[in-house]
Structure 1
Amino acid sequence: MASRNVGRRRADSRGNRRRKLEIPQGHGHGHGHGHGDHVVDTSVVNSDAIVARRVRIVVAAVLIPLILAAVVGMIVMWPGGDVKVASYQTQTVRGEVTALKACKDPDAQCDEATVKLTSGADKGKVVPIQVPKASQTTIPVKVGQSLMLGVIGNAKTLADRYTYVDHDRTGSLLLLAGLFAVAVVALSRWRGFAALIALAVTAVMLTQFILPAILKGENALLVAVVGGTVIMAIALFLTHGINAESSIALSGTVFALGLTVLLGWFFTKFCQLSGLASDGASGAKALVPGIDLTGLLIAGMVIGALGVLDDVTVTQAAAVWELSAANPSANRRELVSAGLRIGRTHVASVVNTLVLAYAGAALPVLLVFAIQGLPGRAVLSTESVAMEIVRGLVGSLGIIAAVPLTTALAAMAVADRSRDLVAEPEHL
């Protein structure tokens, strides 16, 4: 009779699993029972011995070798020495406009600004600078504004040493960055602070490894894959901690990143894209004649998709962890099914965001084509437009693939982690 009751309880539990997964805020089960508005504690999933053992296998077999390979590749390709081209170097200083008047030559389309230098070797000195006339520019120079000036090294006089380059936007950008940092920390607190540090690491990797290595002549695609893997490993572990959940999210990110690379390489070749239509491609080719513009194009696709891949994989891993915390006895099929239901909604919005972002970047080009009245097929076949389409769709395919990949990995890690709970006495 006792064994029959236990069997009945097991059958009832299996029959109710789907309902528990769909309404996790109800009667959840972690290390104890909760009632009413129960807050699911996912830390019990990370500390579960079964989950830890399964994740260790994934980490040892896949994650550690990939991260080590990326670190070794970064060390080997690290750009030694100065990769700058001397003839293209421009020294700049800043100065504040204290007075403004028309140029002496009435035919000259310029104004003469009196600028007090606020940086550089001549800091504090006042110099005359020719700037665009207000009617000749959309953003005119005004008294009190800060300007960025170029330095002519072989000039004989102070008046000839400096030339107008652009408005100095450092203060405005720093204000925006400060507002962003405050908003992130205010909402996410210590995790937000960790995310800001991860963002700083990303900036360092881009400026100190990825860009210099490409300029040095390394394979742009390989540099992007190696740099992207290291960036994601640091960002995920720094922001979300070194635990089972973030390890699974990183595994899903790396797999999706690899697929994005393959798709980018194939469709760049298939669509016959040279990479010359990219902004700055001709200048990069002039500076580094041996650079592979096609590889650079694919590398841009990979780096552009990294942030969204991170978002999708972390969300999917967190969703499966929540489901497992709510129902420890859920099997793999149930977790995958429930996780994919969550992922479908997320992907639908994220993919639209990514495509619109690429479309926004190409908006001036699209506007020119619209003015010319070219037929749609001709516009799509133009490399500048086709390139953005491939960027958006390849990145979106990588995101779509990240959802089932991460969901399946997470479900394998946490499925059926507490089967014995269904055999507990009913009064518990």
Structure 2
Amino acid sequence: MKQNIKRDKYVALQKGTVIAILTGFFVLLVVLLNRTNVAKGLGQAGSMQVQYEHATVLKITQQSLKKDPDTGYQNGTQMLQIRIDSGKYQSNVLTIKNYLSNYSNVVATQGGTLVVRVSGLEQKPDVAVFSYYRAPYIYALIILFFIVLSIVGGRRGIRSAASLVVSFLCILFIYIPSVLRGASPLLMALIIAGYITLVSMIFLSGFSRKTWTAIIGTLAGVLFSAGIAVLSGALMHLNGFNSPESETLIQLSGLAKIQVGGVLFGGIIIAALGAIIDIAVSIASSMDELNRHAPDMGTHALFASGMNIGRDMVGTMANTLILAFAGSSMMELLLIVSNNIPYNQLLNTPWIGIEVIESLSGSIGVILTVPLIAYIGAKLIPVLSVKEKPKNVFVSFARQKKPF
């Protein structure tokens, strides 16, 4: 009884130590990388003289609109009486003209809320309609997502939501500031991927056999994806300089020391991480459950079961990644088909090469994660039985003497 109490205290101490280290690492990097505003002065010229505020449409005093038969949009002009509801000119009532076309089409309605562009703050402001006020609906959709995740997923859903928040904060407050300061996007993406993997796995599964199995398999899969992406980019002569946003980033790189060439590969690693974590956790959890119900099934049988489980998942997961690529690129695909671009020209454009690298390197990483997880799980999961609960998972794994 006393031994069990001591063992539980030791395990709790281990958990607390790991959580403290992970939290300290996050806080330290956030403080170091955000102690000064790296993005200050990197925006468009004169942007500091422009503010975007939300305003209420009090009245439409005049309008002349005509429906476009091709797009269905209302084109023309509106004279609006608005009240600015935020910023320096809050509560000011102004009359402005709203121009509507197929490219800028914000139809104002009485009582509706818009976002307006306010410039010339030192003198009489110049106010123009910018867009619809979408922020409340965005916040509502985010809240709905977390509510549904928590209700359906229960405690695990809440943990998943917490890990999602941490992942977002890591990208926003660690990855982006470090890249703006001149750090290697590829190296920082690998570091962030490792940190997000540890935090996500621990939040979702705690300190268990399947956790360590999934962590090792995920990191290996991410490394495979990174290696394939970098190798493919070198063979095709593609990097971040070939992306559509490269021109703007090159202009900023002189001020912010951005390594533009590596941004593409850093993004590929982060994009592939979610799918790799998903398949790693699913296979590790299934193998762990099999081992609990049939602890004597043997290493070879457990490996074969993991492979069979993974094969069922690979097809749908790879299909998901490819369909996500097609869906996100639908506008470009429509333009390509409608312009009858020759096959040779199409296949050798930088855009196609980048999209192929982004989608297929992540898919290959997901596929290779299956045998990795199956092998690691077959070696690691049987080591820790439910009854024994050894103190150190890595020591127990190293002491295993059964050959695979």
Match of 1:196 in 2: 161
Match of 2:56 in 1: 96
Q: How many residues align?
A: 353
Match of 1:179 in 2: 144
Match of 1:303 in 2: 270
Tell which deviates more after alignment, 397-406 or 125-134.
125-134
Q: 1:227 to 1:150 in 2, by over 3 A?
A: farther
Q: Deviations over 1:59-87 (max 9, x none)?
A: xxxx99xx89x979957983541111335
| One-letter amino acid matched to 1:303 | I
1:170 aligns with 2:130: no
Q: 1:75 to 1:140 in 2, by over 3 A?
A: closer
1:229 to 194, 206, 217: 194
- The answer for unaligned runs of 5 or more in structure 1 is 1-48, 57-62, 419-428
Deviation at 1:274, TM superposition (A): 3.5
Match of 2:299 in 1: 332
Q: Is the contact made by 2:291 and 2:297 (CA closer than 8 Å) also made in structure 1?
A: yes
Match of 1:113 in 2: 80
Q: 1:75 to 1:147 in 2, by over 3 A?
A: closer
Q: Is the contact made by 1:77 and 1:218 (CA closer than 8 Å) also made in structure 2?
A: no
Match of 2:176 in 1: 211
Deviation at 1:140, TM superposition (A): 2.5
1:249 aligns with 2:204: no
Q: Is the contact made by 2:209 and 2:381 (CA closer than 8 Å) also made in structure 1?
A: no
Measured in 2, the distance between the counterparts of 1:177 and 1:362 equals 24
Measured in 1, the distance between the counterparts of 2:264 and 2:32 equals 19
1:294 aligns with 2:261: yes
1:269 aligns with 2:234: yes
Q: 1:202 to 1:313 in 2, by over 3 A?
A: same
Deviation at 1:319, TM superposition (A): 1.1
Q: 1:234 to 1:246 in 2, by over 3 A?
A: same
1:84 aligns with 2:39: yes
- The answer for unaligned runs of 5 or more in structure 2 is 1-6, 65-74, 386-404
1:122 to 62, 82, 89: 89
Greater relative contact order structure (CA < 8 Å, 6+ sep)? 1
1:140 aligns with 2:95: no
Q: Is the contact made by 1:331 and 1:416 (CA closer than 8 Å) also made in structure 2?
A: no
Match of 2:362 in 1: 395
Deviation at 1:102, TM superposition (A): 4.5
Match of 1:373 in 2: 340
| One-letter amino acid matched to 1:99 | K
| One-letter amino acid matched to 2:150 | V
Measured in 1, the distance between the counterparts of 2:278 and 2:325 equals 18
Q: Deviations over 1:274-320 (max 9, x none)?
A: 43443432222211234333310011111111111110100010011
Measured in 2, the distance between the counterparts of 1:199 and 1:76 equals 21
Q: 1:217 to 1:165 in 2, by over 3 A?
A: farther
Please give the secondary structure, in 2, of the residue aligned with 1:144: coil
Please give the secondary structure, in 1, of the residue aligned with 2:117: strand
Q: Is the contact made by 1:308 and 1:350 (CA closer than 8 Å) also made in structure 2?
A: yes
Q: Deviations over 1:224-254 (max 9, x none)?
A: 1111211221122112223221122111111
- Scaled by the length of structure 2, the TM-score of the pair is 0.79
Q: Deviations over 1:351-381 (max 9, x none)?
A: 1101111222222222211111123332121
Please give the secondary structure, in 1, of the residue aligned with 2:240: coil
Q: Is the contact made by 1:362 and 1:385 (CA closer than 8 Å) also made in structure 2?
A: no
Measured in 1, the distance between the counterparts of 2:245 and 2:61 equals 36
Match of 1:151 in 2: 118
Q: Is the contact made by 1:92 and 1:150 (CA closer than 8 Å) also made in structure 2?
A: yes
Q: Is the contact made by 2:60 and 2:80 (CA closer than 8 Å) also made in structure 1?
A: yes
Measured in 2, the distance between the counterparts of 1:85 and 1:384 equals 31
Deviation at 1:103, TM superposition (A): 7.5
- Scaled by the length of structure 1, the TM-score of the pair is 0.75
Q: Deviations over 1:250-282 (max 9, x none)?
A: 111111111111111111111111434434322
Measured in 1, the distance between the counterparts of 2:26 and 2:192 equals 9
| One-letter amino acid matched to 1:172 | Y
Please give the secondary structure, in 1, of the residue aligned with 2:111: coil
Q: 1:135 to 1:143 in 2, by over 3 A?
A: farther
Tell which deviates more after alignment, 139-148 or 298-307.
139-148
Match of 2:243 in 1: 278
Please give the secondary structure, in 2, of the residue aligned with 1:339: helix
Q: Is the contact made by 1:181 and 1:196 (CA closer than 8 Å) also made in structure 2?
A: yes
Please give the secondary structure, in 2, of the residue aligned with 1:94: strand
Tell which deviates more after alignment, 269-278 or 244-253.
269-278
